[in-house]
């Protein structure tokens, strides 16, 4: 593959993830504003919890979307599916920017908001699986972690850019104007990003790895093929690996901003700025960690990342809760480093557990289910823990417990560095590193 072709594939994969995660990030950072517009104002805490519940709804749509689009990606190709998902996500996000509020239409407003979130979740379920499979199968064998890390860098960076954009809008227009109607503009912009992403993807071709696997495929029934080759094992491996990644990530990406405003009483702009800075660090850590996992193995990087989160989670939340600007940044930075280390190995490994013939379907089932259970509920659980215990530090204990369990579990998953993608899950000996991996 030429250098230009490599850049084209990376760029097209990255822009899709950028657009999809931008749309999710806008909703996450807008939770305090959305709670005021789409739920009764008589009980602000109940409104905030309700909006976090709507936030979580999309994560339960992700497994369904992942299963549908993952199956299609294995049957009709990665590129065709990626074109569909980017349009669906863009439409769901743009419509949120046009919805009537609770004051105008009552309970219809949150109902419509839920429908839009379902569309976002359905699309993202297909996008994350499809783009990860596409990039993994396009990458050189010794740089799969690096390539996947680059794409996920662009999937995380929108969280920081959205935070900065919202802070800038509030600073320039004022909080009153932003809270009144200007909050709609970032959602509408999500639709425009989707158009750009589709334009960049329109001329892509499926990876040779996928084409070869499809030619060799003897059983066209994906689920029967999974059952025959022990497809439950890689699903189990993903469920063992993902909780640390999803809980840690969504605590930082989906909860910390609201936590800093509501519990630490930071000014919204300061909360956005510190959160954006931490997310920038997290984003940069992912490809660097992915490259490290290409050299020393995924499991060693898992262990390092889980250990860091285990030791840092509680002090990080304690620092963030003080209401001091510097402490808020340092606390989030501690989380960002550990999550970035762990994620750099988690993203490629989750797809490498599966063979090419049903990679997208298997990855979708396992990854999206794990994200729905552990990721989408994290802001809701963290908010509930603070409310029910009366302690702002309770979320730190939750993440610490998840990291401890994860640290133990990742010791029992197979090493995927350098395995042969075509038969990744078909040979337990190869997946465990007992048999040298063949070239693709």
- Give the C-alpha separation, 432 to 252, whole Å: 33
- Give the C-alpha separation, 421 to 426, whole Å: 10
Q: Which tokens belong to 168? A: 């800038």
- Cut 0.85: pTM above it: no
Q: Tell me what pLDDT residue 184 has.
A: 92
Question: What CATH number labels 3-431?
Answer: 1.20.1250.20
Burial 232-256 (b: 16+ CB within 10 A, else e): ebbbebbbbbbbbbbbbbbbbbbbb
Q: Tell me what pLDDT residue 193 has.
A: 80
CB 336 within 8 A of CB 289: no
What are the residues whose beta carbons fall under 8 Å from the beta carbon of 126, sequence distance 6 or more? 65, 66, 68, 69, 70, 72, 73, 81, 82, 84, 85, 364
In order of 64, 82, 189, 382, the CA distances from 121 in angstroms are: 9, 14, 18, 21
- Give the C-alpha separation, 236 to 366, whole Å: 8
Q: Tell me what pLDDT residue 429 has.
A: 43
Q: With left for phi above 0 and alpha for psi between -120 and 50, is residue 265 left, alpha or beta? A: left
CB 283 within 8 A of CB 273: no
CB 90 within 8 A of CB 19: yes
Q: Which of 3, 127, 122, 142 is nearest to 63 (CA)?
A: 122
Q: Tell me what pLDDT residue 2 has.
A: 59
Q: Tell me what pLDDT residue 19 has.
A: 77
3-state secondary structure of 221: coil
CB 299 within 8 A of CB 419: no
CB 301 within 8 A of CB 289: yes
Q: Which of 189, 197, 248, 257 is nearest to 23 (CA)?
A: 189
- Give the C-alpha separation, 38 to 99, whole Å: 9
CB 117 within 8 A of CB 92: yes
Q: Tell me what pLDDT residue 368 has.
A: 82
DSSP H helices, 30-101, are: 31-38, 44-76, 78-96
- Give the C-alpha separation, 128 to 125, whole Å: 6
pLDDT digits (tens), the chain, 440 positions = 656 677 778 877 777 778 778 887 888 778 888 888 888 877 777 888 788 788 778 777 888 888 899 999 998 898 888 888 888 888 888 899 999 988 889 889 889 999 998 998 888 888 888 889 999 999 988 999 999 999 999 888 887 888 788 888 888 888 889 888 999 999 998 888 878 777 777 777 888 898 888 888 766 677 777 777 777 889 999 999 999 999 999 899 878 988 998 899 998 888 888 998 999 999 999 999 999 999 999 999 999 999 999 999 999 999 999 989 999 999 999 999 999 999 999 999 999 999 998 899 999 889 888 887 888 788 889 989 998 998 999 999 999 999 999 999 999 999 999 889 987 744 444 444 433 444 34
What are the domain boundaries of the chain? 3-431
What are the residues whose beta carbons fall under 8 Å from the beta carbon of 162, sequence distance 6 or more? 22, 25, 26, 29, 186
Q: Tell me what pLDDT residue 320 has.
A: 94
């Amino acid at each position: 593959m030429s250098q230009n072709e490599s850049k084209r594939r990376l760029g097209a994969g990255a822009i899709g993830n950028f657009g999809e995660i931008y749309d999710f990030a806008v909703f996450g950072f807008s939770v305090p504003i959305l709670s005021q517009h789409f739920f009764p104002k008589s009980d602000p805490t109940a409104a905030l919890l309700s909006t976090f519940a709507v936030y979580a709804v999309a994560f339960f749509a992700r497994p369904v979307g992942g299963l549908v689009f993952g199956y299609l990606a294995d049957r009709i190709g990665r590129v065709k599916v990626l074109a569909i998902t980017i349009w669906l996500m863009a439409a769901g996000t743009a419509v949120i920017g046009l919805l009537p509020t609770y004051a105008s239409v009552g309970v219809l407003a949150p109902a419509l908001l839920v429908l839009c979130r379902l569309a976002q979740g359905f699309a993202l379920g297909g996008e994350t699986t499809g783009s990860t499979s596409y990039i993994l199968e396009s990458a050189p064998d010794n740089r799969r972690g690096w390539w996947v890390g680059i794409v996920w860098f662009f999937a995380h960076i929108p969280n920081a850019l959205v935070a900065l954009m919202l802070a800038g809008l509030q600073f320039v227009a004022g909080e009153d104007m932003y809270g009144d109607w200007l909050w709609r503009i970032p959602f509408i912009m999500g639709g425009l990003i989707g158009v750009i992403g589709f334009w960049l993807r329109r001329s892509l071709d499926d990876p040779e790895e996928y084409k070869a696997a499809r030619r060799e495929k003897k059983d066209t029934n994906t689920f029967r093929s999974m059952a025959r080759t022990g497809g439950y094992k890689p699903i189990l491996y993903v469920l063992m690996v993902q909780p640390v990644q999803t809980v840690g990530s969504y605590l930082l990406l989906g909860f910390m901003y609201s936590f800093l405003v509501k519990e630490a009483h930071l000014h919204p702009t300061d909360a956005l700025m510190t959160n954006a800075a931490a997310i920038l660090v997290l984003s940069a850590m992912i490809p660097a960690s992915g490259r490290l996992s290409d050299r020393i193995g995924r499991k060693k990087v898992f262990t390092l990342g889980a250990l860091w989160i285990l030791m840092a989670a509680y002090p990080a939340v304690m620092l963030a809760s003080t209401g001091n600007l510097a402490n808020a940044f340092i606390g989030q930075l501690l989380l960002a480093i550990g999550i970035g280390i762990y994620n750099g190995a988690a993203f490629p490994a989750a797809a490498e557990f599966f063979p090419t013939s049903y990679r997208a379907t298997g990855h979708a089932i396992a990854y999206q289910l794990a994200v729905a259970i552990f990721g989408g509920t994290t802001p809701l659980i963290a908010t509930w823990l603070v409310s029910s215990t009366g302690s702002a530090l309770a979320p730190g204990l939750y993440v610490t417990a998840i990291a401890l369990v994860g640290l133990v579990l990742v010791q029992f998953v197979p090493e995927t560095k350098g395995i042969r993608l075509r038969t990744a899950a078909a040979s337990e000996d190869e997946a465990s590193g007992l048999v040298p991996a063949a070239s693709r």
